[in-house]
Amino acid sequence: MRKIFSLLKNWVLHLLFPRVCFCCGADLARSDGNPLCPVCMKDLKPVHGLVCRRCGLPLPDGGALCRACRKKKSFNCSFIRSGFKFTRASRALAHAFKYGGYIHLSGFFAPVMYNVLRRNPEFFEADFLVPVPIHKSRRRQRGFNQSLLLARDLSRLCGVPCAELLVRKVKTRSQTSLGRRERFENIKEAFACAGADAARRRAIILIDDVCTTSATLEECARMLRKAGAREVLAITALRE
Ligand SMILES: [Zn+2]
Ligand SMILES: [Zn+2]
């Protein structure tokens, strides 16, 4: 009976909201709960295997650290891991989530991030999940902060409380068109710690949708460390 009800519900939902693959636009089967067609699902590549010990960048040829982490000796964000590699399909999903307003996709990414957390004991001592904040004018315009949605869904799965300890003071230029060094400069002093007392002596996992150069995570971690956080780590849905 429950199964019939579930099928009926899916069918009604499908009639009301025709579902197509977020990546290629193919029609999706009614019973399939995935946001992508089977072909595009295969293009979702979880990050596993050889990665940089610090930042989690996939290193197909092995080695302990990636080039950027070898160059820079000390970090505020000591450990970063991500769910999916940056592929056509994962990028399309992340884009639909962040810019298309398909906020339910948070529920697709969160379990993958939960697996990342469970696989790495480094995360086990964490006191808080802290979403990377967006500027309030951007939040008003978009209606939500994608990182907060991810942090809340992940918190429900892992039991670590979500705390909005950071605010974005400066509305920065989009990082996408910038080079590595420019990204670090663009984001500098963009954040403030709103919950300095809460951060003190805590181990914190930053949550964001995408990690590219890790400039944003590093700057957020710097503010949290300045406020006395013992350790700052990060989990992102995607790794570029
Ligand atoms: Zn597709
Ligand atoms: Zn690295």
| d(CA 56, ligand 2 centre) in Å | 6
Structure tokens at 140: 């008003």
| d(CA 37, ligand 1 centre) in Å | 4
Residues 35 and 59 in one domain: no
| d(CA 57, ligand 2 centre) in Å | 6
CB 133, CB 168: distance < 8 Å: yes
The burial of 42, by beta-carbon neighbours within 10 Å (0-12 exposed, 13-18 middle, 19 or more buried), is given as: exposed
Kindly report the CATH number assigned to the domain that includes residue 146: 3.40.50.2020
Structure tokens at 154: 């992940």
Domain boundary among 42, 57, 73: 42
Q: Considering every ligand atom, which ligand is closest to the CA of 52?
A: 2
Residues 51 and 118 in one domain: yes
| d(CA 93, ligand 1 centre) in Å | 11
Q: Considering every ligand atom, which ligand is closest to the CA of 214?
A: 2
CB 75, CB 232: distance < 8 Å: no
Residues 26 and 127 in one domain: no
Residues 90 and 9 in one domain: no
| d(CA 67, ligand 2 centre) in Å | 7
Residues 132 and 213 in one domain: yes
Residues 6 and 106 in one domain: no
Q: 132: closest CA among 162, 90, 176, 158? A: 162
Q: Considering every ligand atom, which ligand is closest to the CA of 50?
A: 2
Q: What is the number of domains present in the chain?
A: 2
pLDDT along the chain (240 residues), means of 10: 63 64 86 86 93 95 92 93 97 95 94 97 97 94 96 98 94 80 85 89 97 94 96 97
Phi, psi torsion values for 233, nearest 5 degrees: -120, 180
Q: Considering every ligand atom, which ligand is closest to the CA of 23?
A: 1
| d(CA 121, ligand 1 centre) in Å | 35
| d(CA 206, ligand 2 centre) in Å | 17
Task: Give the span between the Cα atoms of 134 and 34, in whole angstroms.
Answer: 28
Residue type, 85: K
| d(CA 94, ligand 1 centre) in Å | 14
Residues less than 5 Å from ion ligand 2, measured at CB: 52, 54-55, 57, 66, 69
Residues 88 and 22 in one domain: no
Q: Considering every ligand atom, which ligand is closest to the CA of 38?
A: 1
Residues 110 and 70 in one domain: yes
- Which residues are bridge partners to 162 per DSSP? 129
Residues 120 and 36 in one domain: no
Owning domain of residue 6: 1-42
Residues 160 and 199 in one domain: yes
Residues 161 and 204 in one domain: yes
Could you give the C-alpha distances from 174 to 52, 192, 220, in angstroms and in order? 26, 19, 16
Burial code of 12-23, b = ≥16 C-beta within 10 A, e = fewer?
eeeeeeebebbb
DSSP assignments along 17-69, one per residue: S--B-TTT-PBPPTT---SS-HHHHTT--B--SSB-TTT--B-TT--SS-HHH
| d(CA 160, ligand 2 centre) in Å | 26
Residues 91 and 165 in one domain: yes
pLDDT at residue 221, rounded to an integer: 97
| d(CA 21, ligand 1 centre) in Å | 5
| d(CA 68, ligand 2 centre) in Å | 6
